[in-house]
Amino acid sequence: MSLPIAGLIACLIIVWWAAVVDLRTFTIPHAFSWALMALWIPFALVAMQSGVGLGVLAVQALGGLIAFVIGVVFFALGVMGGGDVKLLAALTPLIPFGTLPVLFVLIALSGLVWALAYGSMRFMQARRAGESDALATARMARLPYGPAIAMGLSLYSVALVLLA
């Protein structure tokens, strides 16, 4: 079961918008997660009209629950913010269950690239500001993870379209 292209574009718009807000405010408001969850209704209706059974849709929903539980663990460890967890949990049921590992690997790799880029930027800002220990300042910087989620979803989307 694949996400129709219109649904994929809607997911990308919502997630990129959340990424911009996260970059500016270090928060991802609930509205973005609710918007992704609202996409589940037309997604499920289109899937059922295409002959997808309720069992497959239940597995998709289970993917969201699993992502939420894992995300809560990351949140408790201080690795991820609550908005990031909710955004991923709301996005996950819209992605075919069998391809979730690909999405999560792409998000993780995007997160690595994003952390290096963002940390370097923070380091340069600290150096320009004349801070005595710019490296420590860069290490202490909070990392908005919404952009990494958006980059990973974008890479996943490109791969999905190219391989279709």
Q: Each residue of 52-74: pLDDT tens digit?
A: 888 989 999 999 999 999 999 99
Contact yes or no for 162/120 (Cβ under 8 A): no
C-alpha 97/C-alpha 59 separation (Å) is 7
Q: Which residue type does 90 have?
A: A
Q: Is 81 helix (H, G, I), strand (E, B) or coil?
A: coil
129 is written with which tokens? Answer: 């500001």
- pLDDT tens across 95-122, in order? 988 899 999 999 999 999 999 998 888 8
Contact yes or no for 90/64 (Cβ under 8 A): yes
C-alpha 67/C-alpha 72 separation (Å) is 9
Phi then psi dihedrals of residue 26, to 5 deg: 60, 25
Report the chain's mean pLDDT, rounded to a whole number.
89
pLDDT tier at 2, thresholds 50, 70, 90: low
Contact yes or no for 150/5 (Cβ under 8 A): no
Composition of the chain by helix, strand, coil, percent to 5 = 80, 0, 20
**Residue ranges covered by each domain of the chain:** 5-163
120, 107, 96, 86: which is closest to 149 by C-alpha?
A: 107
Contact yes or no for 148/111 (Cβ under 8 A): yes
118, 102, 90, 119: which is closest to 30 by C-alpha?
A: 90
pLDDT at 48: 87
pTM metric for this prediction: 0.89
